[in-house]
Amino acid sequence: MTAFKSHHRRSLGVLITSSLMIFNSGADAVEDKWDFFFRHSDSKPMSSIFYDVTVESRLPLAGKPFSWRVEIKMKHARSDGLSSQEEFEVLNKLEDQIEAEGLKYGLSYVGRITGDGVRDLRFLGPPPSAETSPKIVEVARRLGYQVQVMTNFDPDARSYTEYLLPNSDEKDEIENQKVIAQLQQNGDKLIAARPVDHWLYFPSEAARNNFERAATSQNFRIVDKQRVTTAENSFSIHLQRTAVPTWNNMNHETALLRKMASAYQGNYDGWETSVEK
């Protein structure tokens, strides 16, 4: 049986994991550079976020204390404000050309936000010069687009950390999608219900016991409990519940367990399931 898991579960007994670190029979870890997720808000239209994962560990970028934004008004946005297939190729071409032009002036492309009919490209770079913005505007004009270039002194790179980085639930959604993509690549139609295993860690036995009562009230079955003496949150619990592992279902499951765990100072550490054809 092939099993797929999300996140960084501490006991690696599976064949493939779909977090940023990819393990396969003890092979070297490979780190993705870019990730993608959807952001939902009660006050704003849904947006899609595409960001460079590696930037966070390299901040601050030397000599790049300014945030740069290039705002592109889409011509054929979908009714929900996201980009359409009709405009896909030209937007990608425009993005590539703006990135290449910005690189000439020291701009590092760190991600984009697409929503409400706008594609917002984000860069970190040096202070504005008289030449940079007009060159970027000219690149867009050649492809028939008007853009607005905005700069702001941003020594803490908040344009990246506050607007592009995912929160805990969004990180779960990213990892969930990766696992589900692996299931589909292996022939799973995501129709059959099957056991889905979850792992969580707590700072004390009492906290774990309180969580256990909450979890069983939500029809999770307790598979195992252990003490991992080398970890800060050393009291682990392994849960299982039957589910169809669609993206929406797993987003609901992981958000529920993360919220329940946080109420008892615990950490949610991922899920695992098998391929069902």
Beta bridge partners of 39: 47
Tokens of 71: 């705002």
Strands of 267-274's sheet in order across: 16-17, 3-5, 267-274, 194-202, 235-243, 221-227
66/22 Cα distance (integer angstroms): 34
| CATH value of 60-156 in 3.30.70.120, 3.60.150.10, 3.90.180.10, 3.30.70.1290 | 3.30.70.1290
Residues 78-133 have pLDDT tens digits of 999 999 999 999 999 999 999 999 999 999 999 999 999 999 999 999 999 999 99
Q: Do domains 3-31+166-274 and 60-156 have the same CATH topology?
A: yes
CATH homologous superfamily for 3-31+166-274? Answer: RraB-like (3.30.70.970)
pLDDT at 9 exceeding the cut of 80: no
For the chain, domain boundaries: 3-31+166-274, 60-156
49/164 Cα distance (integer angstroms): 6
What integer pLDDT is reported at residue 101 of this predicted model?
97
